[in-house]
Amino acid sequence: MAAGNRTSLTDSGLISRAAGALNPQEVSAGFWVGDVGAAVEAEDGQVFTGACIGGHLSVCAELGAVSQLVASTAPTITRIVAVWRDPADGALHIIPPCGRCRELLRVISQRNLEATVILGPGHTTTLRDLLPVPGWHAERVDPETT
């Protein structure tokens, strides 16, 4: 679900783009696809969207959006958001990237640690804050202290 047009979106505009990637379908018992949508904004302003392929084989919506990103431009993003719409009442919810997606974003570009992660209306953080000890971390243990 690529949409590589360059824009200057507000956070709510990016949220709308993520919501536009929603296409919930229960393709087999308990196996949903398209029930989470994501949008990422590249450093060059392009926006890419993706939808999740859920269940035990899980491919996150963020991964779909990042796949479109890397197919078109550099792997560094400035913002990311993912959304899910509650089928019970139709309310849209913003959800944070899972740990795998956070680590993937860091691995493809260290600059992504400074990317804005939209957590809610008027509520943002950075990927760095969601990955407080990113990457390989090893602290030597002195044998005399153990």
- Interface residues with Zn ion (CB under 5 A) are 60, 98, 100-101
Output the smallest distance, CB 98 to Zn ion, in A: 3
CA dist., res. 102 & res. 20, Å (int): 22
Q: Which is nearer to Zn ion, 42 or 101 (CB)?
A: 101
Q: Which is nearer to Zn ion, 32 or 45 (CB)?
A: 32
Question: What value does the CA radius of gyration of the chain take, rounded to a whole number of Å?
Answer: 17
Output the smallest distance, CB 61 to Zn ion, in A: 8
Residue whose beta carbon is closest to Zn ion: 60
Which pair of structure tokens corresponds to residue 120?
């809610």
CA dist., res. 142 & res. 56, Å (int): 42
CA dist., res. 1 & res. 64, Å (int): 8
Which pair of structure tokens corresponds to residue 115?
């990317």
Output the smallest distance, CB 142 to Zn ion, in A: 37
Q: Which is nearer to Zn ion, 93 or 100 (CB)?
A: 100
